[in-house]
Amino acid sequence: MWERATRVIMPNIKFGIVTAALMSFVLSWEEIGVTLFITSVNAITLPRLMWMGLRDNIDPAIAALSVILIVITVLVLALRAVVVRLRGAG
């Protein structure tokens, strides 16, 4: 039973699980309006902190965090492209 699950089922669903995780992460960044309405004053999430930093004053830390997030995204996409290319060549 466990061998079937690890050798057959998991390889077939791993891309779906990874895609769902990435999509939920991306959509959580996009939903700043919902975050502002449903969180309490004590709950500080990263999108809310970025929004407050942009609304109150121009904070260079917000710009630096944005650059870091863009670099991480580009690195993940580049790594995926390399992995796909190596699998195709092998």
> How much is the pTM?
0.42
Count of domains observed in the chain = 2
Question: Is residue 26, in this structure, part of any structural domain at all?
Answer: yes
Task: Give the mean model confidence (pLDDT) for residues 7-26.
Answer: 85
Residue 77: what pLDDT? 92
Residue 76: what pLDDT? 93
DSSP code, position 11 = H
Distance, CA of 63 to CA of 89 (rounded, Å): 39
Question: Is residue 35, in this structure, part of any structural domain at all?
Answer: no
Q: Using the predicted structure, report yes or no on whether residue 40 has a pLDDT greater than 80.
A: no
Torsion angles phi and psi, residue 41, rounded to 5: -65, -30
Residue 90: what pLDDT? 57
Compute and round to an integer the Cα radius of gyration of the chain: 19
Q: Using the predicted structure, report yes or no on whether residue 31 has a pLDDT greater than 70.
A: no
11: domain range? 1-30
Tell which wins on pLDDT, 37 or 64.
64
Question: Is residue 36, in this structure, part of any structural domain at all?
Answer: no
- 19 and 51, same domain (yes or no): no
- 13 and 49, same domain (yes or no): no
- 11 and 51, same domain (yes or no): no
Question: Is residue 64, in this structure, part of any structural domain at all?
Answer: yes
